[in-house]
Structure formats: structure tokens, C-alpha cells
Amino acid sequence: MKIATGLAIGSKAGPELATEAVLSAMSKAELAAPACVLLFLSSEFALNPESAIKAAAKAASCTNIIGCSAIGIFTEEDWVIDSPAAAAMVFSENIWLKPEQQTVDGLNDRLNDALLLTLAAPNAINSVWLNAKQQRIGGVSGDAIGHGAFSVWENAKGITQGYCEMRLTNAQYAVGATHGLKLLTSPRRITASNQLDILSIANLPAMDSLKSACEKEALFDAEGEIPYHQLMAVYANRASHIERGDYHLASIIIGDEVTKSVTLAKPLQVGDWVSWAVRDMDAAQIDLVKTASTLRRQLAAQTNNNAPQFALLFSCLGRGPYLYNGVDQDLALLKTLFPNLPLIGFYGNGEIAPIRGENELLQYSAVLGLFGEQNESI
């Protein structure tokens, strides 16, 4: 299979950027007409993406185009935020099908287990499909707080329901999430909770536990307040899962000095194990190397040790260059680990990945998917 990316950056959001990105990708892949195209446009296109989508379809002589607008987009070549841009990945073979689409090759059972590429606007997140058994990879095409105009498309036209889901076919895959967190405490069992409020951890007030962790790391801001936006609760049903990085995430909303409780964005149960964690640049890089290496091994086991053919990356807007002081160290690191590997993705305000067999909508994370040749023996 031939695969390549193209990136075009301009001073205004015009259809010529989509044309340039697609033609650049086609030239690299030596394709006269790709079978399908993954197209991401910057947020400047969000209100009226149709002309750019049509331009991409004309350049590719193909209407099998899916994608979305986002606050920032990237390929292995570079990343773009706050400038009009278009990013395209072209494929010589069709690698996706609609979930309800039937096949004539007796592959329905295998397709039922296929990974779903899912792109969604902030107001289109659906707990029904998110909680379904089939695994997903993707992101939310929104800004940091989920506002603004954002659009999603398939078959070279916009979608009214606000999300696109496609079965990824003709490729083996390995998917994982990297959270970029430094654990501040060892895992402790929750001993009292009330819906979204953790009341006590290891029989001690939850707020005291959080304040103690922040004091040890000198994390209080200039006003002496806890920087809740930088902190997360990580949890699992076993302490060993947290210790090896195999955990779920919950944002911390606020702490209450009177009740000594800590309010999270998700309800945790008595008996769950929890650790407090903080976003950290060094931890993010270490975790990304670990995740990428694990995914490389998983994919190699499925493809007779063949190298990945392409990668998808969905990164939080609060990660990328905003975490790394103006440089996307995640992208730079992946380019070092996988030289010349076609890669495409965007910065959004939510990342979708399977965590311990369940699809999760993540925050402040990066979701990486490596894809290789389909093993015909499977």
C-alpha cells in the first residue's frame, strides 16, 4: 500500500490549501488517484469547509474523504496552530468502511472486531457509541473549552450528526494513550465516597491527602492555591495497575476545605485505588517513548516484524506546544522513533482510545495508533 501526507499553510483559509495538501501527498506517494483521503483543516475553515473539501476531492479525483476541522493540525512534517492550514493523508487502497457496510468476502466477523476511527464535534459525543464494545481511536474537533465552530465530514461532505465513524480495514493496528503524568502519591484505597466526591482515602480526609501531595512537590501557585487544572486523579481496581501505568483518569474539579472532600469529574467507588498526579514535561516524554515502543512491539507481532506503514496521533491542545514551551516535543520524538513514517493528526479538546478494554474520552493526553500490513493468515 502507498501512503503519504501533505501539509499546506497559508495566510487565508482558501480551497487552494486543501488542493496543495492533497497534491503534495499524492506526489510523495506517486499516486494519480488515491482510493481514500484523510483531510484535516484548521479552525479557520470550520464555518464553511465545503469549498475546501470539494477542492480536495477534485485534486484527488476521489470522494472517499473523511476528516474534521480543528484548532491545530499536523503531519510528520510540521504542526500548525493559529494559521490557516490543511493536512492530508492519501492511501492507494481503501482502508475504511462504514460500520453498517457489508462485505462480500466473508470478512464480517473480522470487521466486527475492527478499530473504529471516530471524529466528533464537542456537542456530538455520544455515550452510547462511546460505551459500545467495539474499540475506537479518534478525537474531538474542539478548542480548549469545547466552544467555537467545528465541523466533521465524510464522503466529501459535512455531516449533520457531528461525528464520523469508520471501520479501519486492510491494516493491522496497535493503539495506546500516553497521559504525561507524574504520580505524586502511591496508590491508596478509597474508603469513603459520595457520587463525584471522594471523602476519604486510606481512612484519611481526601482533601488533606491532596494538599499533602502538593506541599511535597511545591505545587501551589503564586496565591497559595492548589493548581487544579494541572492535577489529575488516576484510578484502577488494583494498585498494581496504577504502578505500571495501566489506569483511568478523572479531572479534579475542586477541593472543599470544610468537608475535606475532593470533587472529581467522574464518580469513583469505595474500594477503588487512586493516586494524585500532575502534568509534567519529562514524564510526558518518558511515557511517550514507553507507549510507542510497546505499540511497535505489539504491531510487529501481528505483521511478521514489518515496520508500521502509517500513524495517527490525536493530541490534547493543552499538550503539544503548549506543554513544551512552544515546541511540540511529542511530534519531534515520534519523528525520531519512526523516521519518514507518514503521520497525521490534530489538537483537540478530547482524545478517544480504548483503556483496559473500554473506550474513554481522555483529557490532556495523546492517543497514538500505529498501522501495518494486513496479515492475510488472520
| Residues 302 and 351 grouped into a single domain | yes
Q: Single out the residue in 254, 279, 304 at which a domain terminates.
A: 279
Q: Could you tell me how many helices (H) and strands (E) the chain has, helices first?
A: 9, 26
The secondary structure of residue 115, as a DSSP letter, is: P
In this prediction, residues 262-270 reach a mean pLDDT of 95
In a domain, 151, yes or no: yes
Is the pLDDT at 378 greater than 50, yes or no?
no
Query: Are the C-beta atoms of residues 287 and 178 closer than 8 Å to each other?
Result: yes
Is the pLDDT at 111 greater than 60, yes or no?
no
Please name which of 335, 332, 330, 338 lies closest in space to residue 364, comparing C-alpha atoms.
330
Rounded to whole angstroms, the Cα distance separating 127 from 278 reads 27
Higher model confidence: residue 66 or residue 125?
A: 66
Higher model confidence: residue 26 or residue 221?
A: 26
In this prediction, residues 198-205 reach a mean pLDDT of 97
Q: Which residues contact 240 (CB under 8 A, 6 or more apart)?
A: none
In this prediction, residues 321-343 reach a mean pLDDT of 94
In this prediction, residues 155-163 reach a mean pLDDT of 80
Is the pLDDT at 134 greater than 70, yes or no?
yes
What is the structure's pLDDT at 144?
56
Please name which of 33, 40, 46 lies closest in space to residue 17, comparing C-alpha atoms.
40
What is the structure's pLDDT at 151?
87
| Residues 75 and 175 grouped into a single domain | yes
Rounded to whole angstroms, the Cα distance separating 191 from 189 reads 6
Average pLDDT of every residue of the chain = 90
Identify the domain containing residue 246 by its residue range.
Answer: 181-279
Using a pLDDT cut of 90, give the percent of the chain over it.
Answer: 71
| Residues 38 and 163 grouped into a single domain | yes
In this prediction, residues 149-160 reach a mean pLDDT of 82
Q: Where does the pLDDT of residue 110 fall: very low under 50, low under 70, confident under 90, or very high at 90 and above?
A: very low
Q: Where does the pLDDT of residue 101 fall: very low under 50, low under 70, confident under 90, or very high at 90 and above?
A: low
The secondary structure of residue 99, as a DSSP letter, is: T
Residue 351 phi, psi (nearest 5): -125, 140
Q: Single out the residue in 223, 253, 279 at which a domain terminates.
A: 279
In a domain, 150, yes or no: yes
Is the pLDDT at 328 greater than 70, yes or no?
yes
Rounded to whole angstroms, the Cα distance separating 206 from 124 reads 34
Grid cell digits, residue 354: 480504548
Question: 44-84 pLDDT, tens per residue?
Answer: 998 889 999 999 999 999 999 999 999 999 999 999 998 99
In a domain, 312, yes or no: yes
| Residues 89 and 167 grouped into a single domain | yes
Q: Where does the pLDDT of residue 276 fall: very low under 50, low under 70, confident under 90, or very high at 90 and above?
A: very high
DSSP string, 292-338: HHHHHHHHHHHTTTPPPSEEEEEEETTSHHHHTTTS-HHHHHHHHHS
Is the pLDDT at 105 greater than 70, yes or no?
no
In a domain, 378, yes or no: no
What is the side-by-side strand order in the sheet with 163-168? 96-97, 163-168, 116-120, 136-140, 351-355, 358-362
3-state secondary structure of 190: strand
State the pairing for strand pair 136-140/116-120.
parallel
What is the structure's pLDDT at 88?
98
Q: Where does the pLDDT of residue 130 fall: very low under 50, low under 70, confident under 90, or very high at 90 and above?
A: confident
In a domain, 233, yes or no: yes
State the pairing for strand pair 96-97/36-42.
unpaired
Q: Single out the residue in 250, 279, 308 at which a domain terminates.
A: 279
In this prediction, residues 314-343 reach a mean pLDDT of 93
| Residues 123 and 18 grouped into a single domain | yes
| Residues 295 and 146 grouped into a single domain | yes
| Residues 40 and 141 grouped into a single domain | yes
Q: Of 108-112, 118-122, 231-235, 301-305, give the lowest mean pLDDT range.
A: 108-112
| Residues 151 and 37 grouped into a single domain | yes
Torsion sign over Cα 29, 32, 35, 36? positive
In this prediction, residues 215-242 reach a mean pLDDT of 91
What is the structure's pLDDT at 113?
65
Q: Cα dist. 152→35, 42, 95, 131, 148 in Å?
A: 20, 12, 19, 21, 13
Please name which of 317, 300, 312 lies closest in space to residue 372, comparing C-alpha atoms.
300
Q: Of 43-52, 98-107, 146-155, give the lowest mean pLDDT range.
A: 98-107
Rounded to whole angstroms, the Cα distance separating 351 from 176 reads 11
Is the pLDDT at 362 greater than 50, yes or no?
yes
Rounded to whole angstroms, the Cα distance separating 363 from 324 reads 17
What is the structure's pLDDT at 102?
47
What is the structure's pLDDT at 94?
92
Rounded to whole angstroms, the Cα distance separating 168 from 187 reads 37
What is the structure's pLDDT at 2?
95
| Residues 25 and 134 grouped into a single domain | yes
| Residues 236 and 100 grouped into a single domain | no
| Residues 191 and 264 grouped into a single domain | yes
| Residues 166 and 295 grouped into a single domain | yes
Q: How many domains does the chain have?
A: 2
Is the pLDDT at 99 greater than 70, yes or no?
yes
Grid cell digits, residue 151: 465541523
Rounded to whole angstroms, the Cα distance separating 201 from 188 reads 6
Give the best-scoring range by mean pLDDT among 35-49, 99-113, 349-363.
Answer: 35-49
